[in-house]
Structures are given as structure tokens and as C-alpha cells.
Structure 1
Amino acid sequence: LQDMNALILVIITLPECSAFSDIPEEALTKVFTYLTLIPRQPGVKFIIILDRRLDTWASIKTALARIAASFPGNLHLVLVLRPTSFFHRTVTDIGFRFSQDDFMKMPVVMLSSITDLLRYIDENQLTSEFGGTLDYCHSDWILLRTAIESFAVTVKDIAQMLQSFGTELAETELPDEGKIIENLLETHTEKYRKLKDAIRSVSKEGRNLLSSLETTGKQDDAQWDIKLDWETVERLLAQLRDMESAFDGFFEKHHLKLHQYLQLLRYEQSFSEMDLCLEHLMNQEKEFSTKVSTLAQTEQALKRMDSLESNAQEVMSRAQILILHGHQLSAGHHYAMALIMQRCNELRHRCDTLSTALQSKHSIFLQTHQLLLCLGQVQTWCDEGAYMLANQLVDKSQSKEGAQAALRDIERFLEGAPPNLNSGPDILTIEYEAVLTPQLQVSQMIQNRQACLRKLADKHVRPIQLVAPRPENPPRSKSPLFSPKHGKPQSFFKCKIKFAYLIEVIHDFQESRSCVAYSVDGDDSPDLLKRHVMRELIETERIYVEELLAVLLGYRAEMDNPTLSGLLPPILHSKRDVLFGNMPEIYNFHSRVFLQELEGCLEAPERVGACFLQRKESFQMYECYCQNKPRSESLWRQFSDCSFFQECQKKLEHKLGLDSYLLKPIQRLTKYQLLIKELLKYSSDCEGTSELQGALTAMLDLLKSVNDSMHQISITGYKGDICELGRVLMQGSFSVWISHKRGPTRMKELARFKPMQRHLFLYERALLLCKRREEHGDGIDKTPSYSFKHCLKMTAVGITENIKGDVRKFEIWYSGREEVYVVQAPSVEVKMAWLNELRKILTHQQKLLRGLCKQKDVNSFV
């Protein structure tokens, strides 16, 4: 019912009931409360029709008193149909007149008849017993309310079940066994399906109830207005839909997380198994000795090497499949993408290392096999040549004809020389320098004999008395490779045993000999091992310089080549300093300074530490190169398909693109500390050890500084010149609580127990607090950024090293504790490292302050 003032009025009818006074107060209150809670609109008022036409004044008075005491709603009017009998009506009028003050708080109107009731309420809002036209059945209304209340209780039960299941999912501990995780997935999925079935069943029940209400409301003879009931059911259905949607989202995330965890567990297990296989193959490769002494041993070693390579190829193929699987997991936005990619890189590195080692060892065996075949042919040829020379009769060579015949024999013998000797000794010397001495000796002997015979053939002179052996007993050659018997050469490898520890290389056989000796068998001495590392350092430095020069000449300089200008985008020509950074500066330093200094340390590796320390400041140029690298990579990705780069790569005959060579400076920077560590390993308690240790520390500090500076370039929002703050000393992520002093009291943040995550940058002159932002960009362009929040000048900073409650916390206070920052480090080690660096800065500032004070005192005294 709606009155003229747009008030929503709800009519409650209390029919004749002789036992009304016997209803318990608690039950009556519950009934009234329930009836007032049914309408949901705000500002609803209620009208109570109290039918007491067949009752007495005492009953009316009792009913009004109970209504006043128990009705909880906003009561607009109480309409009382007083008794119809003359006596009771008179008593009622008198009693109501004298008792009206008892009901002042409740608007009561005494009606004499139903006609009076129609003046207050329209007939279409009244049932037939009150003279109205509303067709109302109380039992039907009770059935409807029972159905609605039952539906509401069911929805509430569903909500509790969903909440309970969600709590169970959230508190589930992830086990380390795949079978248990699979069982969890099956169990959770089964429970999820049962809950979904329950939700569908309840939703169907609600829709049926709603449909029934709509059907009832559309009937012309509808018993009552079902709008409120329809809205109640619709609201419950909406709540059910929202709960179902939220539950589906939560379970989907949980199921995905559990499934990805199972994938990660299986991938880690596969990685561990593959890592063991590769490690086993690496050990087999290391145990595979390259020391062979016969052709048969070499062929046997090649067969074993082929078998090992076949096994390795099969394992590495499975490793490639595992790497591909890891990339597929990462492409699916796996939550452990970083760990999976790290595993992929480790597998790829292990495969590359194993493949390189196997190829190198196989190449050694092939070269050894070829060398042994060559040596066998040369040895036979040398023995035959020596025997031929020894059997040429000197007497017959006295005549011109005899000399010519002997010369023809020698020429025929030379024509039958092994093919590998036709290329000349110089080429063979490059490959097999250490074992060519006998061949060179025989060649020299033949050349000398040819010269003598040509002289005899051209001009007959007085017989030369040469001491020659008799054919039946030829002399034993002085060469250790020659046998006294024709056609049966002495085994070269038996002779090799004599100089297995020292091999002599003869470079000149006519005038002088020089020897280079190095150890082959046995344990290498530390000095020799240091020289090996030093040679590697110098050789790799030369290769590095050559690669830098190739890039600068083959790419950077070619940008000015007019013939290639058509292939080069104009924007790229103006940005070559972005693409190459300060590589020319790096090349000049290494080619003109550092390489020469390293070469000077070849015979004295202990001096290389001082060399690094002396050039410590020069290496700071790498920091500039690394800071520019993200811009360079972005530019390269934009123009990597440019025809100019392809043409330059083709001219240089490079297998890898320019981007691989732009990484060389960074790779070289990390290589230095590894080589210095190797030198330190063999330099314990030796001269220059402290310098080597200092060089290692300097290079590690440089790597850290480069890494810190790479983070610094991602700071956004800082208004001043960040270069004025000095060098970045440390950076890292921490949990931070901040409190500010306001007047006499300190106002702490409301969320003091919820720390802020801040990324701290410690400079020489300030401490910056930044907020790490989510990575932005697509694919490989993703980079983190740091939004600037606070800047603390180090001149106003103090620290408290220990705070009760957590050993990882320390305090940074600013401007006499106007601002206090409680910092929690990820670990105690990180905390101590930061405190050490902060103490150094503060101590240095105190020294500077004392110096300034002393200077002021001196100036004031003067």
C-alpha cells in the first residue's frame, strides 16, 4: 500500500483469536520481527488491523499492550474493529477513553464497522472478511515463504561450503612427490565438481521458484503482490551467481598453480636426471686419455670416441627436448619462469661444453691417426733412402756415367716420396714440428748427395776419396728413426719412449740448433701451470682485440662506405654511437695498452696482478658500455633484419651476427676474474699473490658496480642530477617501516605492521628509496623500473645497527631522528654488508668534518 505522501505501508492483520493472550511473549516478538523484515525497502511503515468484533475490551486492551511491547517496526497506525455487541462496544468506548494515555506512543483508531475501515485502506488491499476484494490465502503465503526461506538457507549453506573448501585449498601444503600432487589434483577436482553440481541444483531451484512467482504475478486474479518476494529470490540468485563466479576464479587459479607446481616438480626431476647423465658423460670424456703410442691404439680410441659421441648425441638430443619443454612452460606464463629458464641455460651450457670437448678430443685423435700414418710412410721412406745412399758405390760415381746413373736413381727415389712430403717441410712443420727432425735430416742428406753427383756429372774431376760402407754391411744411421735393415724400420714408438718426458724440436740443422722443451707426462709444476694460464690470458686477449677490430672495421666503419649507403637506414647512421657504445675506446685501451702489458708478464705471471691494479680505473669504461647496452639491444632488435648487417656479416665471413659480437666486452669482463682465480690457485705463498688477490677483488667489485649501475639507469622520477650523488655503492630490495616526528610526538603510520617494499640505492653522498615497478614491455623488452620516493643526504644520516625482535633489521634515522626508517634485510649477511658500507661512508664524513674544523681553527688563529 502507498499513501498520498508516497509512504510505503505494509498491512498486518490480526484476526479473531481467543488464545492471543496465551501466545508467549518471545514467540510473538519473533513473529512480529519476521514480518517486519520481509519488506526490504527503506522507510517502510506498518498498519496493524486488530479484529476484535466478537471480543471484549479486556482482550483489546491486552492485545494493544502486547503490540506496543513487542512490535519492533515503525508502526504507522493500529486500526481496531471494536466489539459489535452493544454492551461490549460501550465498555470498550469507556475503557479506551480512560485508558487512552496508556497507548499515546502508539496511534490507535477505534473503528465501529468495516465501512469505517475502508476510509483508511483501499478495498483492493483488504480481504473479503474486511469487505475488500483481495483474494488472499494464508496457507499459500506460508508455503511460499517457507520455500523462499528454505532457498535462502540453502544459499547460505552453499556459501559456507565454498568458504570452507576455499580455506582448505589455501591452507594446503604442497608436497614434494608427484603422486601426492596428482592425488591432490584429483581430490580437489572431485570436490569442485560436487560443489558445482550443488550450486547448479540450488540455482535450478531458485529459477523454478522465480518462474513460479512470475507466473503467479501475471495472473489476473493474483492473490497478492509478489514483487517483494520476486526481488528476494532474484537477490539470492544474484548472490549465488557471484559466489559461483568467485569460486570458479579461485579454483581455476589454485588448480593452475597446483598443475604448474606438478610440471615444475617433474621438470626439476627430469633436469636432475639429465644433469647426472651429462655429468657422467663429462667424466667419461675427462677420463678418456689422448695418450696413444701406436696406430692400433689410435684406431681403438677412435672407435671408443665414436661410441661415446653417439651416446652423448643421444643424451644431448634428449636434453634439447627438455630445453624445448622448458621454453614451452615459460611461454605458458609459468610462475617459475625464471627458474625454468635458468635450468634451460644450464643444460644448454653443459651440452655446449660437452660437445666442444668431444669435438676437440676427436680432432686430436684424428690428427694423431693421420700423423701416425704419415710417420709410418716417412719412416719407411727414410730407411729406404738411407739404405740407398749407403749402397751407392763410390767407385762407380768417379765417372761421369756412374754419377749420372746414381743421380737418376736418386731422382727416381724422390719421385716415389710419400704424398705428404710433396707439400714441403714448412707446411708439415706447422702441424707436426716436434717429430719431423728425422725427415729433415734425410732430406738434407739427399740434397747434399745430389749436389755432389751433379758436380761429378757436369765436370769429371779427380776421384774424391769418400769413405763409404760396403753394401753387405751398411752403416747404422745416427738418426734414432732409422733401421740398419732395409724394409724393416725400427719402431718409432720404441724410440719415443726415450724422450717421452722431453721432446726436442730442431729448427736449423746446418748451422745452429735451438730447443724448446715442455713437460708431457707427469704432474705439472705450479709455475708451468701458471704459464699455461698466462698463455691462455694473452691468447684470448689477442683474439678479443682482433674481434673488436673486426667489428669496428667490418660494421662501424662500413657505415661511412658510400657503396653500402643504400642498404643502411638513415636513422641508424645517426645512432651508431648508441649501437656500438664506447667500443672504440675499449679497443684502443686493450690494443695499445693492456695487451702489451699482459705480453710483458708472459714469463712472470706474478706481475699480472699489479698490471690489473694499475689499470683499475681504465676498466671503468666498461660501466659506460654496459649502461648503454639496453639501448643498443633495443636498436639492434629494431634493425637486425637490415640488409646492411647481412652484407657486412657476409664480407667478414662471420657465422654469428653483430649482436653476438656486441656481447664480447661483457663476456670478456667476466672472463678476467675467472683467469685470475686460476692464477691464484697455483700461486699460494708466492710473490705477487697479494696483488693477484687485489686484482680479483677489483674485478669482482667492477662487476658488482656494473650490475648496480645497470639498475640505476632504471630510476624514474628523480628531479635532480643523479650523477651528483657519486658512484652507486650498493643496491637491493628491503622491507621498510617509516615513522615521522610531528611536533612533540611521533606519528607512526597506521599500517606499521605492513612494511613497504622499497629498493634502496646507496650512493657516496645519498641514499635513495625507490619503489620497484612491475616489468613493462613485451617479450625480451621487459625491464624493471624504480620510482623515486625519498632521498636521504648522507650528511644527515645516522644508523642503529641492532633492533630487538629481528636480527635482520637495522635503523636509518635522518635529520636528528625527524624521520626514522626501520629496514629489514633479506638475510643477516646482506644486513652486515650494508652496515659495513654505511659505516665506511659515515666514518669518511667524520674525517672530512674534523679536517674542516681543524682548518677553520687554523684560519681563525691566523
Structure 2
Amino acid sequence: MQRNECNSGHLIILHKASFPGNLHLVLVLRPTSFFHRTVTDIGFRFSQEDFMLKMPVVMLSSVTDLLRYISENQLTSEFGGTLDYCHSDWIVLRTAIESFAVTVKDIAQMLQGFGTELAETELPDKGKAIEFLLECQTDKYRKLKDAIRSVSKEGRHLLSSLETSGKVDDSQWDVKLDWETVQRLLAQLRDMESAFDGFFEKHHLKLHQYMQLLRFEQSFHELCLEHLMSQEKQLSISVDTLTQTEQALKKLDSLESNAQEVVARAQIIILHGHQLSASHHYAIALIMQRCNELRHYCDTLNAALKTKHTHLFTVKHVIYLQAQTWCDDAAYLLANQLVEKSQSKEGAQLALRDIERFLERVPAILSSGPDILAIEYEAIMTPHLQVTLQGMIQKRQVCLRKLADKHVRPIQLVAPRAENPPRSKSPLFSPKHGAVHTRTHTHTHTSNLRSKQSLVRPDRTSTGVSLIIRVHVMRELIETERIYVEELLSVLLGYRAEMDNPALSGLLPPSLHSKKDILFGNLPEIYNFHSRVFLQDLEGCLDAPESVGACFLERKESLQMYECYCQNKPRSDLLWRQFSDCAFFLECQKKLEHKLALDSYLLKPIQRLTKYQLLLKELLKYNTDCEGSSELQGALTAMLDLLKSVNDSMHQIGITGYEGDICELGRVLMQGSFSVWISHKRGPTRMKELARFKPMQRHLFLYEKALLFCKRREEHVDGCDKTPSYSFKHCLKMIAVGITENVKGDVKKFEIWYSGREEVYVVQAPTVEVKMAWLNELRRILTNQQKLLRGLWKFTVF
């Protein structure tokens, strides 16, 4: 009220209610001019009723009197004080602060309203609707974020204006209080923004996972597994004839073709479910339940189809065998009927009855016409063989009927001579001649028939049986491959991925966090190769088992990744022995419902390599001299070489004391233990390092570029089996190595000499076969080196 006239003293009463505290004293400064002073005194007297206040009112005659009541640093310059104060600036500042506070409050209400909207919004049950809802909510979130950033920018600008005034630290000025107010409002805004971001992030993740779950459920319900299982149950395998068997097999093949497509889609859905589970989806229990249901459906369907397929093939094979047995019996019947017994009516009738009784037992598959037989049973009964058998039977029947219907002619009796015994007129019916002729004819006929059967029927039958066995082996290979891929996936998801799960971090020892690659090696690489490449290759060979050899040869280089896995296996085993009782592994095993611990599953890749070569041997056994047999033999050789290479490389890990990078020596080609005598040429004489007849036991490693001599040592690790290690002794560069293949006195010895026989190593192999294998490999390396040097020499000359 500093410029109000004193005759408006009633304003004091009005402003009293606006003060935040109680008024204790009223100071009135009298004007300096005579006229205004007189008017003020008169007005003050006539207005004393207005000043009937519960506080004293002091009339001051000058500004100097004001300093007795108020300090000069609390007064502005116009009242003789030193306070730097601009009322208009203060009003602008207070207006800005109050406006900022209102804006922050509005933002808080907007965030609260948006949070309530998110919480109360009913989620749709269609994917597109969820996507639209997610887009709308994200758009609102971004707009609110922009509003928060704008308000924050305004608050920082206001705070900067207060700080540039330089009066924040002045205790006599209320700018510091304003600065603290703005700071508090900004802190509240930051807290609201942080809470809002966290809430929306969780909501967005849940909505996104809900959409993933909806799509997963939709894919699950779109599968036709239950329909396929219903078709499988309706497919009858109660067949009696070959025609019924073939029709059932066609229906089964069609059903299997559809089932393969559906099962492949189911495997993709299962893999998707495992990926959702690994990402810690909120509905992990439901997802794993669906995956288990799909796996159960697939396993049940595959097992049922496989059982029916095996049954129908068995029935078909039995029908073939019945036909073959009947044909064999027919041939034996015809061959064993003696012609001389059919010369009489009784004998011919007896033989005819035997044939008729035999024809009554003809199998159903041979009772059809020639055209049907030629179409349906060509695999076991060729038209030529059928016509031959039918012709033989018909001729024999005609002959026997003629003999049976022929009347017995009267025989003229002739008086015998005493010196000569009775003799038949025709030498054909001489008992001796007739018996010999009959045996010869029977033997010749039987031999011809046997040769025809051996040329036609047994080969075809054995070929059919071999094909069935090859298909069964191929099915086993594919089925075990699928199981192998599933087991690898369970290990990667159930153990390796769980090592990054925050929920299980308390169960995992800290020292294991950074050793995941040591424990599992390159198992992810092996799983990717088998699940994405090799399994599909093998499934493509189901209808053509002979092509699996080419498949193995094509992926020969990719299978070399097992060598890396096996080289890491000792380190993995050592790490497992240290932490096998860890609560983390026990919890993971419990979740996976595995009966065996992790180390048993880490051994699966090595066991799988051995399984490959066994199955290839079985396929090659029933595919000799057929299409694809050379590729099968090549694949078997490649797998055996891989196993040998893996074994050699695992031994290489135990080498200690070698200075330098052992990888520069190339691949390990061979390794083994030998007895070795070493001699050095010093001056004109040769000296033995050891006793003359006492050899050293050395383990040799043959590389592409060097030959290492090591000493084998056995080490015990925590009560486990002995672990071999090899102390490095000598290294011979292959560029300076020569060999002498034979040493007098022992066929198992050979010489390896170095640097022009400066050093000679007499090596004794355990067997002659081992010696020849090493000599062949050494000759190959030395020959390749000579070719390489010859090529370099020609290049240098030209």
C-alpha cells in the first residue's frame, strides 16, 4: 500500500485478511508536502473508526523514522534501504512459477488418466485388433512423452533464469525459495516420467507377449493333428490279399505325406514355443504345455504310422513268401514224380490226384489270371516263370490223364529159354534202363528248374527284402536324428539359455558365468547344422536310401565341426566335475524332467558320430553292388576318418612343453605309441643316447609339416579314469625327413632319419599293419613335398 493515501486507511482492514500471518504493527509514513500532510492528519482523525484494529498504528514523519523499525537491507532504495527489488519482475516470476506448477499438476493428472485407461482397457482376441490397440496406445504414449519433455524444458529454462539472476544464494531474498520450488517440481516431473516409462514398458511388453501368445495359440489350433490321428485310426490294416495290402499302403503313404507336412509345421511351432519360453514369457506354463501336447501328438502319430507301415510290409512279404514257397513246392512235386510209376493206370491216377490236391492249396495271389498276375506280382513272379510253371503242370496233367484212360493191352506170353532170362521187347521199359533214364531226366529237369528259380525269383525276393531292410535302417537314421536334434535343443534351452536367466542367477556360481562356452563348446553350431541342414537332407533320402551316401559326402566338411567339440570336451569335463553338484544344474534337470545329468547329454555328439558309421555299415551291407554303393562306401570311409581324426586331435590336447603354436604344424594325421632307438652322428662315429638294447617308449604325432616325439604320462583326476598327457621331446620338420622302410632283424621296424642322417630314429611298431599305415602316410607327405618343391623350382626358372 505504499502509494495509497492515508484517507483510504480502511484498506488496511481489507488487506489484513489477505496476509498469511497475523499483523502486529502498522507503520504509516506521513507525506512530506504541507498540503498532503494536513489532509492526512485530518483524514486519519476522521477515519479512526476504520483503524479500530487490535494492533498499534504508528504515524512516521520521515523515512529516517522508518529505519528505527525496519532494517535498511529490508527496504528498497526509495525508502532509504539497500534492497534490490523490482516488483514487476517479482510478479512475472511468481506468475511463471505458479503456471509451471499448474502444468506439472495437469501432466500428473494426464498420466494418471492414461494409466487408468491402460489398466481398464479390455484386450481383444484378434491379432489385428491388438496391433491397432498397440499402435494407438503407443501414439498416446509418445504424445505424453512430448508433453513431459516440453514441460521439463520449460522448468529448466525457468531454473536457468533464476540461476542467472545471481541472487539464489542471497538469504535476504526469496529467490532461493523460488529456485527450490522449481527444483522440487522438476524432480516430481522426473519421477513421474520414470514411473510412467516403467509402467508403459511393462504394459507394452505384456501386450506384445499377449499378441505372441494369441498367434501361438492360433497356430496350435490350426494344426490338423487330431484330424490326422482320426484318419490314422480309421485306416484299417486288416488285409488278406495283396491287392488290399497295396491299397492300404497307398492310403498310408498318402497319410504319411500329409503327416510329414503337419509334423514339420508342428516342429516349427514347438521351436517358436521354446523361443518364447526362453524370452521369459508370462504364459510360459501354457506355452510349454502346448509344446508338450504337440510333441506327444507327433510322437504318437509317427509311432502309429510306423507300426502300420511295418505291419503292412510284413504282410506283403509273407504273401510273397507264400507264393514263392508254393512255386518251390510245385517244382519239387513235378520233379519228384517218377515217370515209370505213371506207366500204369493206377500210378497215373495217383499222380494226377496229387497234382489236383496240390492245386487246391494254391495261394490266393496265384489264383488270378495271367494279366493280373503280371501287373500285381511282377516283383516275385515274372510272366515267363508263371507260363513255364503253368505249362509244366498242364502238360503233366494231360500226360497223366492219357495214361489213366489207356486200356491195358494183352501181352503175348513166350516160352522162355532156359539159358536166357526173360527180356522185354523194348529196351525202353527195361528196369535198369528206365531207372537210369528217369533219374537222369529228373535230375536234369530239377537242375534246370532250380537254375531258373535262382536266376529269377530268389534274386528278386532278396532284392525286395534288402530294400525293406534299407528303408527300415533309413527310418531309424532319420528318427534317431530327430531325437538327437530335440535333445540338443533341450540342453541349449534348458541349461545354456537358463544361465542368463536372472531368476536363476542366485543358484549359479559366479565363476561359471563367463565359462558357458567352455562347458558347452560349439554345441549351438552343431545344433544349427543338424536342425536346419542335415535333418532335412536325411529326410529327403527316405524314399531313396541309396542316396544317403552322397548326402554324407556333401556335408563332409561341415561335420568337421565335431573335431572342435571333441577337442574342447576334456575342458568341459573338468569344469563339470567341479560344479556337477551345483544347485543350478539340479534345478534345470528337474525342470526338464531329465533322468540323466547334463554330462550324459554333452556326450551325445560323440555318440552320434559312432552311430552314423554303424548305420552306414548296415546300409552298405544290404546295398552291395547296387546303385549308390560306392557313395555309401565313401561316406563310411569319411566317417571312419573323421572318428580317427577326432581321436587324434583329442590326444593332441594332452601335449605339454611344446614351445610355439602347434596349430602351425597343420592337422594331426596319425598318432600312436612306438618303441624308439635314437642315434646321433657326432664326427665320424655314431653314438647311442641310451643303452644299446634298451628302447625308449615314445608317442608319435604325425602332422602335415612335422613329426613330434612325446613321452606318455598317466594322470589321475579326482578319482576318475587315467587322463593321458604327453611331454614334448623332439620335433622333426617334414621338409628334412627321410625314411628307410625295412630294418634287418625285425619286420615291424623302420627308420626315420633327419638332416641327411645326422639323426636316425629306429621305430618299432606294435604290428606290421600299423607300420605299413605309417609308411604309407609318410610316403604321401614326402611325395607331396617333392611335387611342391618341383613346382616352385619350375616357377623360379621360368
Interval of TM-score (by shorter of Structure 1 and Structure 2)? 0.3 to 0.5
TM-score normalised to the size of structure 1?
Answer: 0.41
**RCO higher in structure (CA 8 A, sep ≥6):** 2
TM-score normalised to the size of structure 2?
Answer: 0.45
